[in-house]
């Protein structure tokens, strides 16, 4: 398995320095999602980074759920996240953890802070706490409850745990510095009262820690050495370090303490990677669920036919940096295309069928033609394709009046039917509206591919085909980009006002149509991937594909058509 560890990796360099200095003996990382939604493509970068570095250094990576918010989390999300990480190719072994298992320890840590005069119970309403916090240019102001005695704070905090107060009556805050230029050090909130049942702890708690408070403690409990976060947590690192130092001085944790390092998150064009926006897309039914192949979730990518190897290759190519930037979606598509080119066997599909009749081919006769399963890998062998009098070809492969440069079927022209015979077009049939409904041709019996003398026939055109008597009708789901704009919702509307990202949705992001595929392509199990020759890479739908009713999803085309359009 290929992992993310390039030579110039600044996080790798930091780890090398820590190990050389003897600060840590074993590298321990963690992947800590909140179970309030499905994992998206940005999480893939973090997964590959954390698990990859742990493997590189012979350490371990913990799978941990930061489940401190009972109002949005569920076991369904936990199971979906675990499935996605396994699908990407990573295993946490025995190291599966939940923040909710540490609630008692976190509570004791809070009491330790109170006893050292480093935390206090604030009884101001939430809006007044916000008003006193200050701004980027103005310092905050002390709460009137900031100087409560240690005894009073302990008593109130224990009553908060006992459920004596309603939601919002009190909060526990760290006592740091209301004049700090870093807003995250202006007495951040550590605990809130929430009379809500937790999906794992039930009603055992009505007092829940904030993520900012819980996360450093979780890292310290588990012995994490390098806590790798995206850049939005950079301003919170001073609190991370303040909290762990305070608890170490109180004797709760021993040194060395975890080290937080930030890296740039994934910003990918033509998608949104905000969990809030993804939830909105799902709940408002702009997509067909968390695993809709247009949605940039790992479940959606899997259903679309994206591969774990493709995601890992993508992560290697984009690398890790300290500066935010935008990655073109075509970079992800090319990674998938490069892997599928090697991994996917070839099959034939006719997506816009037009009947071709070989008038001089015997009625009822079947001729078997051979085609390689993979032209780059002869060891995968060959398959047999039936050739009959009536064939399906692509409508775009015939022009009654050809344009310059058209080298396929046109009256009087000869082409090779791929893996089959050379034919000469003799005419076509039309319906009452003048639309071509059938093409006629004659074949050259000594021109069958792979037979002696067949190479005597030189043609400019090459068409693929399927037997009308044997091909299986299939549903094709043609997925395109979910948004028309590379950065959805970032440009102002006609009146200059901000517009919703929903206004940039692509109404053509999904087109469904009927097509024909080779018989053995219909028989494959779900999630089997093929290159349908000349068209692109497709996957048998994970849920809807059946041999009797095959369904194939377009994964990615053979070429970067979007990039060409943009250029």
Closest alpha carbon to 532 in 371, 396, 344, 381: 344
d(CA 508, CA 480): 7
d(CA 83, CA 147): 48
d(CA 300, CA 41): 10
d(CA 316, CA 296): 19
Quote the DSSP letter at residue 133: T
Are the C-beta atoms of residues 229 and 50 closer than 8 Å to each other? no
Is 34 annotated as catalytic? yes
Closest alpha carbon to 481 in 292, 310, 319, 317: 292
Quote the DSSP letter at residue 421: -
Residue 6 burial (C-beta neighbours within 10 Å; 0-12, 13-18, 19+)? exposed
Which alpha helices (H) appear in 116-188, and where do they start and end? 126-132, 150-161
Torsion of CA 427, 432, 434, 438, to 10 degrees: -30
Active-site annotation holder among 23, 146, 158, 265: 265
d(CA 441, CA 542): 39
**Distances from the Cα of 541 to the Cα of 257, 305, 471, 527, 529, angstroms:** 47, 8, 19, 6, 9
Quote the DSSP letter at residue 327: B
d(CA 541, CA 523): 12
Active-site annotation holder among 23, 34, 141, 277: 34
Active-site annotation holder among 64, 148, 192, 275: 275
Residues 6+ apart with CB under 8 A from 426: 359, 411, 440, 441, 442
Closest alpha carbon to 447 in 419, 413, 410: 419
d(CA 96, CA 79): 12
**Distances from the Cα of 54 to the Cα of 192, 251, 296, 311, angstroms:** 35, 28, 26, 18
Q: Please, how many CA atoms are within 13 Å of residue 239, restricted to the half-sphere of its CB?
A: 29
289 by DSSP, 3-state: which? Answer: coil
Is 333 annotated as catalytic? no
Asked whether the CA dihedral 202, 206, 209, 210 is positive or negative, the reply is positive
Are the C-beta atoms of residues 264 and 319 closer than 8 Å to each other? no
Closest alpha carbon to 249 in 118, 150, 102: 118
Cis peptide leading into residue 256 (ω within 30°): yes
Token code pair at residue 301: 């990518």
The catalytic residues are 34, 265, 275
């Amino acid at each position: 398995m290929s992992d993310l560890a390039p030579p110039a990796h600044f996080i790798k360099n930091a780890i090398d320095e820590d190990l050389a200095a003897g600060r840590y003996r074993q590298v321990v990382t963690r992947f800590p999602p909140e179970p309030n939604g499905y994992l998206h493509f940005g999480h893939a970068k973090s997964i590959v980074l954390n698990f990859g570095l742990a493997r590189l250094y012979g350490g371990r990576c913990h799978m941990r759920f930061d489940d401190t918010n009972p109002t949005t989390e569920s076991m369904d999300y936990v199971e979906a996240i675990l499935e996605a990480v396994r699908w990407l190719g990573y295993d946490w072994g025995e190291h599966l953890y939940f923040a909710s298992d540490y609630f008692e320890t976190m509570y004791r840590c809070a009491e330790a802070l109170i006893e050292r005069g480093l935390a206090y119970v604030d009884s101001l309403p939430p809006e007044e706490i916000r008003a006193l916090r200050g701004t980027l240019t103005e310092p905050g102001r002390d709460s009137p409850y900031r100087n409560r005695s240690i005894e009073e704070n302990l008593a109130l905090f224990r009553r908060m745990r006992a459920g004596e107060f309603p939601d919002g009556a009190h909060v526990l805050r760290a006592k740091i510095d209301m004049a700090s230029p870093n807003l995250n050090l202006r007495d951040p909130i550590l605990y809130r009262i929430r009379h809500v049942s937790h999906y794992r702890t039930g009603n055992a708690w009505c007092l829940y820690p904030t993520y900012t408070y819980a996360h450093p403690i979780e890292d310290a409990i588990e012995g994490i050495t390098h806590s790798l976060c995206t850049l939005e947590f950079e301003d919170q690192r001073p609190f991370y370090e303040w909290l762990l130092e305070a608890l170490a001085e109180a004797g709760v944790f021993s040194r060395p303490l975890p080290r937080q390092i930030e890296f740039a998150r994934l910003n990918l064009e033509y998608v949104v990677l905000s969990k809030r926006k993804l939830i909105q897309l799902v709940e408002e039914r702009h997509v067909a669920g968390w695993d809709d192949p247009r949605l940039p979730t790992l479940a959606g990518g899997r259903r679309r036919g994206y591969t774990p190897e493709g995601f890992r290759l993508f992560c290697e190519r984009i690398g890790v940096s300290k500066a935010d930037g935008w990655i073109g979606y075509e970079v992800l598509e090319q990674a998938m295309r490069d892997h599928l080119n090697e991994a996917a066997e070839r099959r034939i599909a006719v997506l816009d069928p037009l009947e071709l009749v070989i008038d001089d081919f015997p009625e009822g006769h079947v001729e078997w033609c051979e085609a390689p399963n993979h032209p780059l890998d002869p060891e995968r062998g060959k398959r047999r394709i039936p050739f009959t009098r009536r064939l399906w070809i692509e409508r775009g492969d015939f022009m009654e009046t050809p344009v310059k440069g058209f080298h396929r079927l046109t009256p009087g022209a000869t082409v090779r039917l791929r893996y089959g015979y050379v034919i000469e077009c003799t005419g076509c049939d039309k319906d009452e509206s003048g639309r071509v409904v059938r093409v006629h041709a004659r074949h050259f019996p000594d021109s069958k591919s792979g037979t002696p003398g067949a190479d005597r026939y030189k043609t400019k055109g090459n068409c693929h085909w399927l037997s009308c008597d044997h091909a299986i009708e299939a549903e094709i789901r043609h997925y395109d980009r979910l948004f028309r704009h590379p950065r959805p919702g970032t440009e102002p509307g006609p009146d200059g006002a901000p517009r919703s990202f929903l206004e940039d949705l692509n109404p053509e992001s999904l087109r469904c149509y009927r097509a024909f595929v080779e018989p053995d392509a219909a028989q494959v199990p779900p999630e089997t991937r093929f290159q349908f020759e000349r068209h692109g890479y497709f996957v048998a739908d994970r849920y809807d594909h059946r041999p009797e009713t095959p369904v194939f999803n377009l994964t990615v085309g053979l070429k970067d058509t979007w990039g060409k359009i943009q250029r």
